[in-house]
A and B are shown apart, each in its own frame.
Chain A
Amino acid sequence: MPGLEDLYKEIILDHYKNPRNQGELPVPPAIMEEGFNPLCGDEVKVYVLTDGDVVKDIRIGGQGCSISQASASMMAESVLDKTLEEAKNLIEKFKEMMSVHESNLDSAELSEDNNENSLGDLQALKGVVKYPVRIKCATLGWNTFDQIIAPKE
């Protein structure tokens, strides 16, 4: 697959084929939000159960392309057992990575060390930036999760 290595990294394909934290949680006590990508018809459902300010459990439902599914799976894995504050920081860092312009990818790579500890495996999704149409796929689960934990008006 010439040229697609940056997009379909092994770890992404692994999460797509073996999604973690798939399923549903009873609502309530869990909170559920749905996200849609009108471009490709992707739908994601994020279920979150909190205990105090900790993400006690998180499940991902819905259907979508490899990037949206893998990204949501990786997100679920990385926010589980984190505090809401930590989760928010992660969302911010992830979205920041997704907003790096393709032409700045190389310089972004230089600062990888700074991010590496916090983003870990999620770094694998950085290649999505080269395919602008797919950025919405990668951020779908994150934005949906963000809606759940963002302070309500």
Chain B
Amino acid sequence: MTGNIFESEKIKGDFPLLEREVNGKPIVYLDSAATSQKPIEVIDRMTDYYKQINANVHRGAYHIAELATSEMEETRAKVSRFINASSEKEIVFTKNATEAINLVAYTWARSQLKEGDVILLSSLEHHSNIVPWHQLSSERNIEIRWIPITQDGQLDLSSIDELLADVKLLCVSAVSNALGTINPVKQLVDAAHKVGAICLVDACQSVPHFKTDVAELGADFLAFSGHKMCGPTGIGVLWGRLEILEKMPPFLGGGEMILNVTSDGFTTNEVPWKFEAGTPPIAEIIGLGVAVSYLEKIGMEVIREHEQNLTSYALDLLNERFGDDLTIHGPEEAVNRSGVISFSYRDIHPHDISQVLDQYGVCVRAGHHCCKPLMTLLGVNATARASLYIYNGESDIGVLADAIDEVGKIFS
């Protein structure tokens, strides 16, 4: 990195996996919306943890246990700063964003929502922000309502006031994992708060790519996963407003989440440990901390700028080269979307597209992207999805386009 000039090739050098070949071709990794690759410093730090300071946290009064505990809690503080939370107590470690959303469903929602209440979801949600609410809905007879989408895959807010009537909980993704649409979360949160609803934001596809400021966003809960932001798998984050977290019942029961246990019962630990039963994924938490530092070192504004430019380049190139043969789903302009490019090519099934692309080293996702209700609205069964990140450059888009040409040749 020199000044503001983004050198994706140099960034690529930080990621050992991107040096490998697939089917004799240099890998072109375009599936970062599913999971990102990991920079060497994350991998090394996790290995060092096991080599140097592996010990259980919050327990042993000996040197390495103290080191492990302080590294873990430093990461909590680092994540808190990263998303501008008001206190590190607002950062709950979970195993992934799915667990974070389920935590809210099982504790806050089951203690607050009753028959006849309404949950409002956007039509762009991932199954992980749909199914927990379906489960609750069938248990409690709670109504689920959907914010519709426009033709170009943006939320249609034209009747948002009617939709918000009697809503107690709004669940919306900051960015659609299937289409890349950037949702007007702040506007939605403000509208939902006016009717007294609580707002949960699925930020899996935004935290790795944009500056996230929970104070500015004004939501009540925000969930994201470590593995999509250069961190390891097995670690996710639930941010919650402290006064809400403090009133919530605990989630899983076990060690760490208690203050005292007697033969008659238990008292819960303070927030956030109240929600973190059992030995946490210590190495993964520490790895997440390194990932946060890595992203901060590059700069979230710089990352967004690079991804928006590259997305714009990709949209232009694909549209020019393939014309009507290729349909890109979602918003037309790069400014309204993340680096997710979901497309259909002729009437060739996405599974076949990705199979042929793999032959050229190109990794894209094919399928419904865990968004079956959205796929139904779009009138497709599945799409192929290329998703970009800091280590992708224009050459990757060129390889993708050449490989799509080869798909066309086989299925002509």
Q: Give chain B's interface secondary structure class.
A: helix
Cβ-based interface call for A18 (8 A): no
Among B355, B381, B411, max chain A CB count under 10 A is at B355
B354 vs chain A, min Cβ distance (A): 9
Minimal Cβ-Cβ distance residue in A for B353: A65
Which A residues are in CB contact (< 8 Å) with B366?
A: 40
The distance from the CB of A103 to the nearest CB of chain B, in whole angstroms, is 18
Q: Measured between alpha carbons, how far is A34 from B350 in the docked complex, in Å?
A: 21
Across the interface, do B382 and A4 meet the contact criterion of CB distance under 8 Å?
no
Q: Provide the main secondary structure of the chain A interface.
A: loop
A134 to B406, CA, bound (A): 20
Within 1-26 of A, Cβ neighbours of B (below 8 Å) are at 1-4, 7-8, 13, 16
Q: Which residue of A lies closest to B351 (CB)?
A: A65
Asked if A52 is at the interface (CB within 8 A of a chain B CB), the reply is: no
Closest residue on chain B to residue A69 by CB atoms: B349
A40-B366, A41-B372 known; A66-B352 Cβ under 8 A: yes
Residues of B within 8 A of A41 (CB): 367-368, 372, 375, 381-382
CA of A67 to CA of B356 in the docked complex: distance in angstroms? 13
B395 shortest CB reach to chain A, Å = 20
If A40-B366, A41-B372 touch, whether A1 touches B351 (CB-CB below 8 Å) is no
* Smallest CB separation, B84 vs chain A (Å): 38
Q: Which of A1, A8, A42, A63 lies at the interface centre, i.e. has the most chain B CB atoms within 10 A of its CB?
A: A1
Q: Which residues of A contact B (CB under 8 A)?
A: 1-4, 7-8, 13, 16, 39-43, 63-67, 131, 134, 137
B interface residues, Cβ below 8 angstroms from A: 23, 348-352, 355-356, 359, 366-368, 372, 375, 381-382, 406, 409-411
Q: 10 new A-B pairs (CB below 8 Å) besides A4-B359, A40-B349, A40-B350?
A: A1-B359, A2-B359, A4-B356, A7-B355, A13-B410, A40-B367, A41-B367, A42-B349, A65-B352, A66-B411
